Amino acid sequence: MTTNTGPWDINALREPVSVTDLGKTLNGVTKITYTNEPYRGRSTSVFAFMSLPAASAYAQDGKVPGIVLVHGGGGKAFEYWVRMWNDAGYAAIAMDLGGCDDTGMKLPDYGPNQEHDGKFDHLRLGVDQCWSYHAIAAIFRAHTILANLPGVDENRIGITGISWGGYLTSLVAGLDDRNRFAIPVYGCGHLTTASTWMNNPESESGFNILGEALTQQWMDVFDPAAYMDQVQYPMLFVNGTNDFAYHPPAWQNTYLQSQGEVTLVQRLRMDHGHWEGQTPREIFAFVNRVLHDAPNLPAWEELSNEDGKLITKFEESVTAASLLYTTDDQNKWWPNKLWQQVPAVISEDGKCVTAELPQSAWGCAYINAINQDNLLASTPHITWGESCGCHEHNCDCSE
C-alpha cells in the first residue's frame, strides 16, 4: 500500500532544524525557538519548552523515554505540562502552535494563527497557508528535536494532545511512524460526520463557511480520517459522552480506523479542558504499559449484543462495571443527548460483564470497566435501531 503523506514532505520534516536556546526558566526547563515552514513568503519559528527528568525509573542504557505535548485551542506551550511528565520520568517538549512566545506575545516570525479562520478559511489561500499544515510540521520537528537530545531514547517517544491538540495527534499518528504510541484526548477525525464544526446551528465558522468543494478538500488533506488507517502502533482515545466539539460517531469512526492496538476511555460527561485532558491516570498507565509492561487498563476480548443484553468478556478480572447508554432522539445534537449510567453484572471470575439494554427504537451504548488498580477503560459503542450505522464487528443489530 502506498503511504499517503498529504501535502507534507515527511523526509524533510524529519531532518534537524535550526534551534535557538533561550535559556532556562526558574524551574530549570529549557526555552527554545526552532525554524518551521515559510508563511506568506517569509520564514517562521516556533517557541517550545523542553526538559529531561532529573531522574527516571525508566532509563535504559542511560537514556529516558520522551513525549511530545500538543496543546489545544486557546492553549499554549505549557511549562507545567513538561514538568509533570518530567516528574513521571519522561523527557518532554511542548510547543506553542499559535505563533507566540512564553509570555503570550507574538513572535516576530510567527506562523498562522490558531483561530477558526486559520484552521478553515485560509484554505482559500492555499493548503500551505493553513494552521494545520504548519502545526503538523511543528510537531514533526519537535519530535526530531526531542529525539536528538543526549539522554533521550529516540525509539521510546510518543505523543499526546488535547482538543485541537487531540485532533493534531490523530492526524500526525497516521503520518509519523516514529511514534511508539499516540493519545488523542477529545480530538479525532471524521469531523464532517459529527462535530461542532459541521451542521452546528449555533456556529458560523468551520465547514459551514467553506462550501462543499473546499470542505471536501479540507477533509482529503487535513482530516485524520485520510491517514488513520496507516497507524500501526498503540493508541489511547480519551473523551466524554457529551463533548461539545468531538461527538461519539466521529470519535468511533476514528478509533475503528486505526490498524494498531486501540484502548478507549470514555467518561460520562467528562469536562472539556486542558487540565481535565492531561491528568487522567489512564494516560500515564497506558504509556507505562506500552513502554514498560506496567499494569494494563481493562482490555475487552469480545463484545456482543445478544437478546437485548450487551455482553463483554475481558482478558483479566474487573472489579466494577457499568452500562452507559442514551436512547435520546436519534437526530438530537449529540452534546445535548441524555446519557445514563447503570451498574452491570460481573461474573464470579470477574471476566464477563453483562448489562440489559434498554427497550427503545434507537440507542447507543457501551460498557465502562474498572480494574483492581482503579483504572478505567471502555468498550466500543454499539448502536441499534433504524439506520443505526453500526459496525459489523461490534454490533449484532436486529434486522
d(Cα 100, Cα 107) in Å, to the nearest integer?
5
| Mean confidence (pLDDT) of the chain | 93
d(Cα 144, Cα 37) in Å, to the nearest integer?
15
State residue 203's pLDDT score.
Answer: 62
Q: Which of 152, 150, 154, 170 is nearest to 162 (CA)?
A: 170
Average pLDDT of the residues in 114-143: 95
Average pLDDT of the residues in 205-221: 90
Q: Which amino acid is at 252?
A: Q
SS3 278: helix
CA distances from residue 131 to 37, 38, 218, 221 in whole angstroms, order as listed? 11, 12, 12, 12
- Using an 8 Å Cβ cutoff, are 192 and 222 in contact? no
- Using an 8 Å Cβ cutoff, are 69 and 92 in contact? yes
State residue 385's pLDDT score.
Answer: 85
CA distances from residue 124 to 39, 209, 219, 244 in whole angstroms, order as listed? 14, 11, 14, 27
Q: Which amino acid is at 149?
A: L
How would DSSP label each residue in 187-234?
--S-TTTSBTTSS-TT-SSGGGGTHHHHHHHHHHHHSGGGTGGG--S-
pLDDT tens across 231-282, in order?
999 999 999 999 999 999 999 999 999 999 999 999 999 999 999 999 999 9
Give the percent of the chain with pLDDT over 90: 87
Q: How many helices (H) and strands (E) does the chain have?
A: 9, 18
Residues 6+ positions from 202 with CB-CB distance below 8 Å: none
Count CB-CB contacts under 10 A for residue 387.
8
Kindly compute the dihedral angle of the four CA atoms of residues 118, 124, 128, 132, in this order, to the nearest 10 degrees.
40
CA distances from residue 127 to 13, 131, 191 in whole angstroms, order as listed? 17, 9, 18
> Residue 35: beta bridge partners?
45
Average pLDDT of the residues in 308-319: 96
**Which residue ranges form the domains of the chain, and what is each CATH number?**
10-292 (3.40.50.1820), 300-394 (2.60.40.10)
pLDDT tens across 47-65, in order?
999 999 999 999 999 999 9
Count CB-CB contacts under 10 A for residue 225.
22
Q: Which of 145, 218, 215 is nearest to 178 (CA)?
A: 145
State residue 391's pLDDT score.
Answer: 39
- Using an 8 Å Cβ cutoff, are 111 and 58 in contact? no
pLDDT band, very low/low/confident/very high, at 393 (cuts 50, 70, 90): very low
| pTM as predicted | 0.94
Give the percent of the chain with pLDDT over 70: 94
Kindly compute the dihedral angle of the four CA atoms of residues 152, 157, 159, 160, in this order, to the nearest 10 degrees.
-70
